[in-house]
Chains A and B, each alone.
Chain A
Amino acid sequence: MIVAERKPIEEIIKMVEKHESILVLGCGGCVTVCLAGGEKEAEQLATTLRLYFQKENKPFKTITTTITRQCDPEYVKSVAEEVAKVDAVLSTACGVGVQFMAENYPGKWVYPALNTKFAGANLELGVWGERCGLCGECILHLTGGVCPVIRCSKSLLNGPCGGSQNGKCEVSSEIDCAWQLIYDRLKSLNSLDLILKIQPPKDWSKARDGGPRKVVKEEVRL
């Protein structure tokens, strides 16, 4: 899923303070699962903002609603009425949702309430970790299911740098060395030969370096 976390409240206040009414729009997708921008978080945020502006003696109204996904036109269009009633939208979706709302509502400000962090997984209660670099050309079959593109701090494709020690990355002792993980895993799978071959330079044109990407599936197009 896409993992996000809420921006500091001060930053959000600065974004919305010039408006008198906003729609705090939650998203029922990934950000609900990672407890950053679902129904509950959208409502909490709206309450916090109302209380703040009340204390400041500023007129400030909120409407709060949550749609199934902010990255789907069907759901985004369903809030047209609410959007029409307010000066601006504060989206608690990921960056995709914010942009999709903005695209669908020209002439209306849509603000991001979250910082979108990464594509990751729930590691333990309250902890999420990055797992996919969205590079467009998966090589997990060569690395035993551990991604060096995103989990190695230097995206190295041919083994660990000189800073790997005791299983940890030189950047921080909190970060596991991806190449130690790859080595251990391939060793246990009796497949170390996979990393003895030199991996050629990566084709980054398949990642964002080729410009914004699109996926087209012809068979489902109308």
Chain B
Amino acid sequence: MITESRLEKLFAEGHFVVTAEIGPPKNSNGEAVRKHARNLKNYIDGANLTDNQTAVVRLSSIAAGFHVLSEGLDPIIQMTCRDRNRIGLQSDLLGAYSLGIRNVLALTGDHQSFGNHPTAKNVYDLDSIQLIQTIKKLRDEKQFLSGEPIKEHEPRFFIGAVENPFGDPFEFRVLRLEKKIEAGAQFIQTQCIFDMERFERFMEMVRERGLHERAYILAGITPLKSAKAAKYMKNVAGMIMPDHIIERMEKAEDQKEEGVKIAVEMIEHLKNVKGVAGVHIMAIAWEDIVPVIVERAGLLPRPEV
């Protein structure tokens, strides 16, 4: 155990970890986040707070993380490289830790052209791998990125990163994952899986390089709300949506129920994929369905720490 993170402890104890995503609202209503946290509290081990996902302005991930923590649920704050330079990122890491947040997930961030301020200037002073290195340096070397020492109260985060097995160049994906682990990532969240065959190939490469023994891998799951949503995802950059899933959704009488069924089946399958340490459920704008999925996938009760 390197940190006081509850999440790290659960992984270390060998539990099949379950986390879920909470998308902060497009307003200043912290109660919306708290409500999700209360609903999810007994069903997941940690809540992942997105950082202005798809470059749309939302309540900040750190503030949302604080709301989650206040409800007794372990927050994982996302931190993207899009909107802040190395000064802002490190300052926010100090601030987040001071609020009691212990898990951070470093990622590049969607390009601003997707969001509600497409004419914004982006930052990308650091890339996600350099951000991981920075978070590790603050913790393990008690130094800022510049090398200036932190005399006391260094932030000691459990460090997460993402990888997309469905992006290209495919062969480079595992090497990039290795770079992230090399940089200091301790747990990995994958892009949501629909193409299980490709994910299995990815995991095979992960195991060949022994990466599953160097970081905990959470497989990404997104329940589909409708056939329309499935079709939409087919065109999202970095996603692979196989036609057989779209067909299955289209044929279903109750599409929402079918979406839940697919998610549950996938989790059941992933439990037996060697190297998968848990699942991360991203029920986009459908957080209420998470307890249903967790229960039906036989993941209850969640472990006590």
The answer to whether A170 touches B169 (Cβ under 8 A) is no
B169-197: CB near A (< 8 Å → 1, else 0) gives 10010011011001100000001000000
A217 to chain B: closest CB distance in Å? 30
B49 smallest CB distance to A (angstroms): 18
- Chain A count of residues within 8 A CB distance of the other chain: 31
Given A154-B124, A201-B130, also A163-B237 (CB < 8 A): yes
Are the CB atoms of B238 and A163 closer together than 8 Å? yes
Nearest-Cβ distance from residue B7 to partner chain A, whole angstroms: 22
**A164 contacts B167, CB within 8 Å?**
yes
Scoring B125, B169, B178 by chain A CB atoms within 10 A of each residue's CB, the highest score goes to B169
**Partner pick for A196 among B125, B163, B166, B179, CB 8 A cutoff:** B179
Q: Kindly identify which residue among A154, A179, A184 contacts B122, using a CB–CB cutoff of 8 Å.
A: A154
Closest beta carbon of chain B to A37's beta carbon, Å:
26
| A180 and B168 contacting across the interface, CB-CB below 8 Å | yes
Contacts of A184 in B (CB 8 A): 169
- Nearest CB to that of B162 among chain A residues? A162
Contacts of A198 in B (CB 8 A): 129-130, 133, 179, 182-183
Q: Find out whether the CB atom of A160 lies under 8 angstroms from the CB atom of B172.
A: yes
Q: Are B169 and A183 in contact (CB under 8 A)?
A: yes
Q: B98 near A: Cβ within 8 Å?
A: no
Decide: A183 near B110, CB < 8 A? Known: A158-B127, A164-B238.
no
Say yes or no for A161: interface residue by CB 8 A criterion.
Answer: yes
- CB nearest to B107 among chain A residues: A162
Contact A201–B145 (Cβ < 8 Å): yes
Question: CB of A157 within 8 A of chain B?
Answer: yes
Interface: A47 (CB within 8 A): no
The SS class assigned to the A binding surface is loop
Q: How large is the interface on B (under 10, 10 to 19, 20 to 34, 35 or more residues)?
A: 35 or more
Task: Collect the chain A residues with CB atoms within 8 Å of residue B128's CB.
Answer: 156, 158, 161
Which residue of the partner chain A has the closest CB to B175? A196
Distance, CA A164 to CA B165, complexed state (A)? 11
B238 near A162: Cβ-Cβ < 8 Å: yes
Q: Which of A157, A162, A166, A200 meets B164, CB within 8 Å?
A: A162
Q: Which residues of B contact A75 (CB under 8 A)?
A: none
Residue A159 lies at the interface, judged by CB distance under 8 Å to chain B: yes
Return chain B residues, CB-CB under 8 Å to A204: 125
1/0 per position for A184-222, CB-CB distance to B under 8 A?
100000001001101111101000000000000000000
Q: Is the CB of A158 within 8 A of B237?
A: no
Contacts of A122 in B (CB 8 A): none
CB distance B238 to A159 under 8 Å?
A: no
Partner of B237, one of A170, A179, A192: A170
Check A165 for interface membership: any CB of B closer than 8 A: yes
Tell me, in angstroms, the Cα distance from A165 to B198 when the chains sit together: 14
CB distance from B164 to the nearest CB of A (A): 3
Residues on B close to A: CB < 8 A?
81-82, 86, 108-111, 113-114, 122, 124-130, 133-134, 145, 162-164, 166-169, 172, 175-176, 178-179, 182-183, 191, 237-238
Q: Other than A154-B127, A160-B169, A166-B168, give 19 A-B pairs with Cβ distance below 8 A.
A: A154-B124, A157-B130, A159-B179, A160-B167, A161-B167, A161-B238, A162-B162, A162-B164, A163-B110, A165-B167, A167-B168, A170-B238, A171-B113, A179-B172, A196-B178, A198-B133, A198-B182, A198-B183, A202-B125
Query: Lowest 9 CB-CB distances: which A-B pairs, in order?
Result: A162-B164, A170-B237, A158-B129, A163-B237, A161-B108, A156-B127, A159-B176, A162-B238, A163-B238
